[in-house]
Each structure stands twice: as structure tokens, then as C-alpha cells.
Amino acid sequence: MLPLDPSADIARKAWIPCPRCQDDSDCGTCLAGRNCPDHWRYLLSSTANVLHVQCPGCTHLWSERTAFGTGGA
């Protein structure tokens, strides 16, 4: 298991599913598309439409491309 990234800051959060532990898969709040107080990710950085995040539960690091900032494409 990786340690938390040194830049991980609890004040910077992203609400996207973790592809490794999938801890949000049975959560009614997450399934409804709302910001859950339990299943958030550290937002380490972002560039254009790519988020760089880390799961606080399993410490998995990954990048995720979003449609945000691309005109919805």
C-alpha cells in the first residue's frame, strides 16, 4: 500500500469513484450523484480536463479525464 501523497490536502476533494477499492459502489448518496461525506478522493492537482487524485481508503493514485472544461465534449 502506498503512503498518502505529501500534497494530499483534506481541503481539496474530488467525488469520483475509486477504480481499485470501489468503496462507493453500495452507497445511496454516491449512487444518487451527491457529494458523500465518506467517499471522496484527495484532489492532488488538475491540468485542463485531467484530475490527479488519490483514494484516502486504499491510497490508490490515478488520473482521470473529465469532460469539464472541454465544452461538454
Task: For residue range 17-58, list pLDDT tens digits in order.
Answer: 999 999 999 999 999 999 999 999 999 999 888 999 999 999
Provide the total of helices (H) and of strands (E) in the chain, helices listed first.
Answer: 1, 4
Distance CA 30, CA 36 (A): 6
Query: Does residue 73 belong to any structural domain of this protein?
Result: no
Instruction: Confirm whether 2 is domain-assigned.
Output: no
Tell me the residue range of the domain where 50 lies: 13-65
In single-letter form, the type of residue at position 43 comes to L
Tell me the CA distances in angstroms from 60 to 26, 52, 68, one per residue in order.
19, 11, 23
Q: Per the domain annotation, does 72 fall within a domain?
A: no
Enter the pTM of the model.
Answer: 0.85
Contacts of 15 (CB under 8 A, 6+ apart): 30, 35, 36, 39, 40, 41
Number of domains the chain contains: 1
